[in-house]
Amino acid sequence: SYAIVGVGAVIYSPAKYGILPFLTRGGDALLLRANSHLESFTILAILSGAVAGGYLADKSIALALAVCLALYALSIP
């Protein structure tokens, strides 16, 4: 499963950072600020997801899987 996540990151990350100059047409200072916010929120999401997942799995594996399934279903357009 880590290989699949790695392939997804290889595809998604360049696009995520490559679109920032087009979204921030306010010069280098705005691009720097947008890039730092993007990276900060990415790390925050990774850490909070790990903590929340560990907490849910500690309470109930079935609950953790149900929440994971519900969040996955919400992400499909």
Predicted TM-score of the model (pTM): 0.69
The reported pLDDT for the residue numbered 73 is: 94
In angstroms and rounded to an integer, the radius of gyration of the C-alpha atoms of the chain is: 16
Q: How confident is the model at residue 45 (pLDDT cuts 50, 70, 90)?
A: very high
Please state the domain extents for the chain.
Answer: 2-75
Question: Does residue 58 carry a pLDDT above 80?
Answer: yes
Distance CA(67)–CA(56), nearest Å, equals 9
At residue 37, the pLDDT reads 94
- Please give the Cα distance from 36 to 41 (Å, whole number): 9
Q: Would you say 73 and 66 are in contact if contact means Cβ atoms under 8 Å apart?
A: no
Treating both helix axes as pointing N-terminal to C-terminal, what angle do 28-59 and 61-75 enclose, rounded to 10 degrees?
A: 140
Model pLDDT for residues 12-31, shown as the tens digit of each residue: 888 888 899 998 988 889 99
pLDDT confidence tier of residue 33, bands split at 50, 70 and 90: very high
Task: Name the H helices within 1-77.
Answer: 2-18, 20-23, 28-59, 61-75
